[in-house]
């Protein structure tokens, strides 16, 4: 029978192999291959009523032009200093004041926006302007030129705030980040606002197939229409016991996700809805469009109201309750997990 060295012998050995750039798998194997996800992000809620003043105050300290993007990042307390709302995703609250503009640039990180308040702002994506209205879901896929602007106050411009979601931590993890500002390359030709909505936004498409650009040709999914879809569906379909009525935003040319790295959803919870417990492997960011209720994440209870933003970490048991008829927007890295064969859910 062999005699194994005592711990002291192992420690000296670990020190020696560390000098050679090696370490023993057997000391960390369980942590490397956990039996289920151990997300570092935590359940957390940003109450819009509590953070709104800070967002508006940024408008007194720096212009959108100087800031390039005037944003307060939403940092998950479990991931401090990492510009991360979940392990893979970034979120922030962006402010643009009447008459301001934020310069054109592009990057390999994909961005989505969910408009929280204010009228008059627009986003230009690959040369097509899109008006931003509260509740609209707007995308800027990877490597598309984009800039933002707002009408002067005399023409109805108001301070506009939206939630940004980007795949920054994911792209950083992959070391695949590239960016350009508009001075380095010309903006592509301008098409008139509404062109892509007319061509792709009505369950019709071009006769001569355009090859998919790898992301939805629609920059905007207006709230008015998305909300109406849910409202109509409620007349025909009983709400799911876990989700209420939940639909995902799609790329009309493929039926798939609007962008390859982030999926987004809109769901209606009727007044009095008491959802059953479920969990999924995609850490998810929720933003309340309408209504009031409670999200229970494990033992953590979060009361939500309009414009609040909360995080549900991977594999955390979630149940949703609505005291008023509620509409929730949400986004996650689910497309990435599905493409890699990783996504799982459990409905309890
Ligand atoms: C960006 O381009 C926007 O275009 C927002 O509004 C937030 C965060 C990091 C890098 C680029 C935008 C961003 C960003």
pLDDT at 8 over 80: no
Report the pLDDT value the prediction gives residue 54, as an integer from 0 to 100: 98
Q: Which residues pair with 102 in a beta bridge?
A: 148
Query: Average of pLDDT values for 25-42?
Result: 96
Report the pLDDT value the prediction gives residue 14, as an integer from 0 to 100: 96
Q: Which of 166, 168, 219 to mutate to test the pocket of ligand 1 (most atoms within 8 A of CB)?
A: 166
What average pLDDT does the structure give for the chain?
Answer: 95
pLDDT at 299 over 80: yes
Q: 88: exposed, middle or buried (C-beta count within 10 Å: 0-12, 13-18, 19+)? A: buried
Residues 6+ apart with CB under 8 A from 323: 271, 272, 291, 292, 293, 294
Report the pLDDT value the prediction gives residue 39, as an integer from 0 to 100: 97
Q: How confident is the model at residue 217 (pLDDT cuts 50, 70, 90)?
A: very high
CATH fold of 34-204+215-347: Jelly Rolls (2.60.120)
Residues 6+ apart with CB under 8 A from 178: 107, 108, 143
Report the pLDDT value the prediction gives residue 188, as an integer from 0 to 100: 63
Closest by CA position to 157, among listed 226, 100, 78: 100
pLDDT at 1 over 60: no
Closest ligand 1 atom to 90 CA: 8
pLDDT at 186 over 80: no
Query: Average of pLDDT values for 3-15?
Result: 82
CA-proximal residue: ligand 1, atom 13 (nearest): 69
Residue list, ligand 1 pocket, CB within 6 Å = 69, 71, 92, 94, 107, 111, 146, 164, 166, 168
Ligand 1 mean position to 69 CA, how many Å?
6
Query: Average of pLDDT values for 43-57?
Result: 98
Q: How confident is the model at residue 7 (pLDDT cuts 50, 70, 90)?
A: low
Q: Where are the beta strands (DSSP E) in 61-215?
A: 71-73, 90-96, 101-107, 111-117, 121-125, 128-131, 137-140, 146-150, 160-166, 179-181
Integer distance in angstroms from the first to the last C-alpha of the chain? 49
pLDDT at 325 over 90: yes
pLDDT at 243 over 80: yes
Residues 6+ apart with CB under 8 A from 11: none
CA-proximal residue: ligand 1, atom 14 (nearest): 69
Q: How confident is the model at residue 185 (pLDDT cuts 50, 70, 90)?
A: low
pLDDT at 2 over 70: no
Report the pLDDT value the prediction gives residue 84, as an integer from 0 to 100: 98
CA-proximal residue: ligand 1, atom 6 (nearest): 69
Query: Average of pLDDT values for 171-196?
Result: 86
User: Which of 177-186, 192-201, 230-239 bottoms out in mean pLDDT, i.e. has the lowest?
Assistant: 177-186
Ligand 1 mean position to 249 CA, how many Å?
21
Q: What are the extents of the domains in the chain?
A: 34-204+215-347
Ligand 1 mean position to 107 CA, how many Å?
9
Question: 184 or 263: which carries more pLDDT confidence?
Answer: 263
pLDDT at 6 over 80: no
Using one digit for the tens of pLDDT, what is the confidence trace for 139-156? Answer: 999 999 999 999 999 999
Ligand 1 mean position to 104 CA, how many Å?
11
Measured CA to CA in angstroms, residue 52 lies from 111, 116, 309 at distances of 22, 11, 12
User: Percentage of the chain with pLDDT > 70?
Assistant: 97
Measured in residues, the chain has a length of 348
């Amino acid at each position: 029978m062999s005699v194994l060295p005592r711990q002291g012998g192992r420690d000296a050995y670990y020190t020696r192999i560390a000098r050679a750039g090696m370490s023993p798998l057997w000391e960390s194997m369980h942590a490397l291959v956990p039996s289920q996800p151990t997300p570092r992000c935590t359940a957390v809620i940003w109450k819009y009523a509590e953070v709104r003043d800070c967002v508006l105050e940024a408008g007194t300290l720096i212009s959108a032009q100087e800031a390039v993007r005037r944003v307060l990042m939403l940092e998950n307390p479990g991931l401090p200093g990492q510009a991360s709302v979940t392990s893979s995703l970034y979120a922030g609250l962006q402010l643009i004041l009447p008459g301001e503009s934020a310069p054109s640039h592009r990057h390999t990180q994909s961005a989505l926006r969910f408009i929280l308040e204010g009228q008059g702002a627009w986003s230009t994506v690959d040369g097509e302007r899109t008006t931003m209205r509260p509740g609209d879901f707007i995308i800027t896929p990877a490597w598309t030129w984009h800039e933002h602007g707002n009408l002067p106050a005399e023409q109805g411009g108001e301070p506009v705030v939206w939630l940004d979601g980007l795949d920054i931590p994911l792209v950083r993890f992959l070391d695949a980040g590239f960016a350009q500002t508009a001075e380095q390359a010309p903006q592509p030709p301008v098409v008139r606002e509404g062109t892509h909505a007319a061509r792709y936004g009505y369950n019709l498409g071009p006769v001569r197939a355009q090859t998919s650009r790898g992301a939805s040709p629609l920059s905007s999914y207006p709230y008015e229409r998305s909300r109406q879809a849910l409202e109509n569906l409620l007349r025909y379909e009983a709400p799911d016991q876990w989700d209420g009525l939940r639909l995902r935003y799609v790329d009309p040319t493929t039926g798939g996700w609007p962008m390859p790295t982030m999926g987004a959803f809109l769901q209606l919870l009727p007044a009095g809805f008491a959802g059953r417990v479920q969990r999924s492997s995609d850490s998810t960011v929720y933003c309340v469009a309408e209504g009031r209720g409670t999200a229970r994440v494990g033992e953590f209870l979060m009361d939500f109201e309009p414009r609040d933003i909360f995080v549900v970490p991977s594999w955390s048991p979630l149940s949703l309750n609505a005291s008023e008829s509620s509409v929730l927007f949400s986004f996650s890295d689910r497309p990435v997990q599905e493409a890699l064969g990783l996504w799982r859910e459990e409905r309890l």
